[in-house]
Structure 1
Amino acid sequence: MIGRIRGVLVEKAPGRALVECAGLGYEVDIPYTTFFHLPEVGQEVTLHTHFAVREDAQSLYGFASKLDRDLFRLLIKVSGVGPKLAVGLLSGLEARQFIRCVEARDTNALVKLPGVGKKTAERLLIEMADRIGQLEGGFQHLSQAATGHSEPGPAVVALGPDPREEAEAALIALGYKPQEAAKAISKVAEEGMSSEALIRLALKNMIPAG
Structure 2
Amino acid sequence: MFYYISGNLVLLEPGVAAIDAGGVAYRMSISHTTYDALPKNHKEQRATLYTYLSVREDSLELYGFASVEELSAFRMLITVSGVGPKVALSLLSVLSPEKFALAVLSEDRKAISQAPGIGPKTAARIILELRDKLASKQLASGSGEQTPGTAAGHSSNTNDAVEALMVLGYSRTEALRALKDVDIVTLPLEEIIRLALKKLIK
| TM-score of the aligned structures, taking structure 1 as reference length | 0.66
The structural deviation recorded for 1:2 is 1.0
Question: By how many angstroms is 1:52 displaced?
Answer: 1.1
The residue aligned with 1:174 is none
Equivalent AA in structure 1 for residue 19 of structure 2: V
The reply on whether 1:14 has 2:21 as its aligned counterpart is: no
Q: Alpha-carbon deviations, 1:112-164, whole Å to 9, x = none?
A: 221111111111011112335262354675863326789xxxxxxxxxxxxxx
2:147 aligned partner? none
Q: Does the 8 Å contact 2:69/2:197 carry over to 1?
A: no
1:64 counterpart residue number = 66
The 8 Å contact of residues 74 and 131 in structure 1, kept in 2 or not, is answered as: no
The alpha-carbon distance between structure 1 residues 122 and 147, as it changes in their structure 2 partners (threshold 3 A), is: farther
Counterpart position of 1:145: 193
Q: Which amino acid aligns with 2:60?
A: Q
Q: Report what 1:127 is aligned to.
A: 129
* Counterpart Cα distance in 2 of 1:107 and 1:119: 9
Per-residue CA deviations over 1:184-208 (Å, capped at 9, x if unaligned) read xxxxxxxxxxxxxxxxxxxxxxxxx
Question: Of the candidates 68, 83, 92, which is equivalent to residue 90 of structure 1?
Answer: 92
Identical pairs, percent: 39
| CA deviations over 1:96-117 (Å, ceiling 9, x no partner) | 1111101111111112221111
> Partner residue of 2:151?
none
- 1:1-210 to structure 2, matched below 5 A, reads 1-39=1-39, 40-41=41-42, 42-131=44-133, 133=166, 135-136=169-170, 138=172, 144-146=192-194
Structure 2 counterpart SS, 1:108: helix
Give the Cα–Cα distance (whole angstroms) in 1 for the partners of residues 15 and 53 of structure 2: 16
TM-score (norm 2): 0.68
Q: Larger Rg: 1 or 2?
A: 2
Shift of 1:17: 0.3
Distance (whole Å) between structure 2 residues aligned to residue 135 and residue 44 of structure 1: 28
CA distance in 1, matches of 2:193, 2:114: 25
Deviations 1:12-42 (A, max 9, x none): 0001001000010000110000000112312
Q: CA RMSD in A?
A: 2.1
Point out where structure 1 has 5 or more consecutive residues left out of the alignment: 151-210
Distance 1:71 1:52 in 2: 15
How many residues are matched?
150
CA distance in 2, matches of 1:8, 1:55: 31
